[in-house]
Structure 1
Amino acid sequence: MTAEAITVLGLGNLGRALAEAFARAGHPTTVWNRSAGKAEGLAATVASTAAEAVAASDLVVVAVLDNQAAHQVLRGVDVRGRAVVNLTSGTPGEARELAAWAAANEAEYLHGAVYAVPQTIGTDASSILYSGSAAVAERWRKSLELLGKVTFLGDDAGRASGYDVAILSGMYGLLGGFVHAAALARAGGIGAGELTPVLLAWLTDLQPALVTFAEEIDSGSYSGGESSLAMNQSGLATLIRAAEAQGVPFAGLDAFKALVDKQVADGRGEESLARAVESF
């Protein structure tokens, strides 16, 4: 059977990797980018306009800078009968707005959150969360699996982005903590390379605590208290003092302690640290 045509709008690092994955699998691939030079070397048909690119395929994959750019690219384009899969990062509300726009223009919409660097698209190291049109997720599943593992989260187009912003917040919190840990270690004459194996072992040991915290947050019951707010308030105060003494204060620690302080001030000091989520 002849592979079906697929269009990719946007040829940044991610968009180019998507187009390469489709073309490599034998799909006739049409691409469009504001700067046509980005298509150089691709085994794809280069459209002169976004409208021309969309007209070439039933599946249209969008990977541009942000959802405002996605709106601009798609505005005025005839998307009737097309499956629009948007892999552009943004907020849950923006994804829902684009889904509503697609529905008003007689197109099906699926939003995706990509967990991969461009170099790993199409490998086992790539996974993508999708939400929105179940029909698109099912109809085009084999094609989407060419990009990475497919997980469908339901028909709320904003749900994939909801996961995405939460996961990215956790990621940047971890990275911020790591670079501060490296700065503290360096101030104490310890190399980052020496610190990292010990830190990784401790973070691995913390995984069961995160599962417990998640259960407490979902249930709204924080009575466990094995890692109490009051105990962590004291620990954070000591850590902040030590960081300041070594000349590497970190506002992230101060902000987290403020969340804990609020709960302790409300008389919740003996309850679980997970209760700090209620300070938001």
Structure 2
Amino acid sequence: MNVSVIGLGAMGAAIAARLLDTGHDTAVWNRSAHRAEPLIAKGATGGTLAEVIAASDVLIVTLLRYNSVEEVLAPVFGELAGRTVVNLTSGTPNEARALAALLASHGVRYVDGGMMAVPEMIGRPGASILYSGDEAAFEEARPVLAELASAEFFPGDAGRASLVDLSLLAGMYGMFGGIAQATAMAERAGLPPTVFAPRLTAWLQAMATQAAGHAVVAEKRDYTTDTQSVSFNLGALEAIMEAARDEGVGDGFLAPVRDALAARAAAGRGEDVFASVIEAVRAQDAA
């Protein structure tokens, strides 16, 4: 299948190189033309943006932001009609929905991608890209997309892949904040970060197995428990934060969790299970 890659930063260059390595005719374009030169030397086709679009039925776009995608593609909307745009630019679900609607109005088939990989992972085990948007277009492009990473499609609106992607990243950033908090506290106990890290890794891996249980509770919304209630965990968290302050360490990464537990307790839900704090987030729906 002929493919064009628009945007040749680290990710776009890795994608184009992978497509060339797997035998796909690949055209490339970047606003800074010199970025295309190594790929052209490797066998890619270059040219103007219009020429690169004309060379392929499927275009993979990897730019910095969604507004950059619109800015780059707007002058060539006419040439894009009838083609498939697979957008792997990072953004929000609403940005994906808006771009899908805009391109559809110009006769373009749109597939949005959520990247669960860094450039070095492209084409290797463990890399994953989540997709949503035009399912028929995705299925036609799947043989190409599967060369880059495992390809999973989420039916529904074009923003679904982005939302799942960002949901996973939300869990990651929460974990990273906890790692920073724990590491700073352990230093005060005389454990250098590199010494503490293996112990922390083993602990977090063990605790991660609790996610499935939390998921069952969250789905059923049955928060009754006879062990480690909201009130129990609130007391434990307040003790951790007090210890951090006593040792001259900040407690900022823990405060939002403490506040959610305190709100549950104040609402008369102190005997609920810890997983009930999800209601502090779900409550934003009604805010």
TM range (shorter): over 0.9
Aligned partner of 1:38 among 19, 22, 35: 35
1:198 match: 199
- Partners of 1:125 and 1:165 lie apart in 2 by 18
- Count of paired positions: 276
Q: Taking structure 1 as reference, are residues 136 and 226 closer, same or farther at Cα in structure 2, changes over 3 Å only? A: farther
For 2:237, give the aligned amino acid: L
Following superposition, which runs of at least 4 residues in structure 1 exceed 4 angstroms of deviation? none
Q: Taking structure 1 as reference, are residues 265 and 106 closer, same or farther at Cα in structure 2, changes over 3 Å only? A: same
Post-superposition shift, 1:29? 1.0
Range 97-106 or range 198-207, more displaced: 198-207
Q: CA deviation digits over 1:14-49, x for unaligned, max 9?
A: 011011111111211111111111122113122233
Q: Which runs of 5+ in 1 are unaligned?
A: none
- Partners of 1:45 and 1:233 lie apart in 2 by 60
For 1:275, give the aligned amino acid: S
1:171 match: 172
Q: CA deviation digits over 1:108-166, x for unaligned, max 9?
A: 11111111110110111211111111112211111111101111111321110011111
Is 1:7 aligned to 2:4, yes or no? yes
- Partners of 2:244 and 2:82 lie apart in 1 by 58
Post-superposition shift, 1:225? 5.2
* Other structure's SS at 2:4 match: strand
- Partners of 1:75 and 1:31 lie apart in 2 by 18
Is 1:107 aligned to 2:104, yes or no? no
For 1:127, give the aligned amino acid: S
Is 1:29 aligned to 2:30, yes or no? no
- Partners of 1:263 and 1:190 lie apart in 2 by 35
Q: Which runs of 5+ in 2 are unaligned?
A: 282-287
- Partners of 1:224 and 1:33 lie apart in 2 by 57
Conservation of the 8 A alpha-carbon contact between 1:225 and 1:273: no
* Superposition RMSD in Å: 1.3
TM-score, structure 1 as length reference: 0.94
Conservation of the 8 A alpha-carbon contact between 2:112 and 2:158: yes
Q: CA deviation digits over 1:78-124, x for unaligned, max 9?
A: 21111110111111111111111121111111111111110110111
* Other structure's SS at 1:20 match: helix
Conservation of the 8 A alpha-carbon contact between 2:133 and 2:155: yes
Is 1:61 aligned to 2:32, yes or no? no
1:180 match: 181
- Partners of 1:92 and 1:217 lie apart in 2 by 23
* Other structure's SS at 1:251 match: coil
2:253 match: 252
Post-superposition shift, 1:220? 2.0
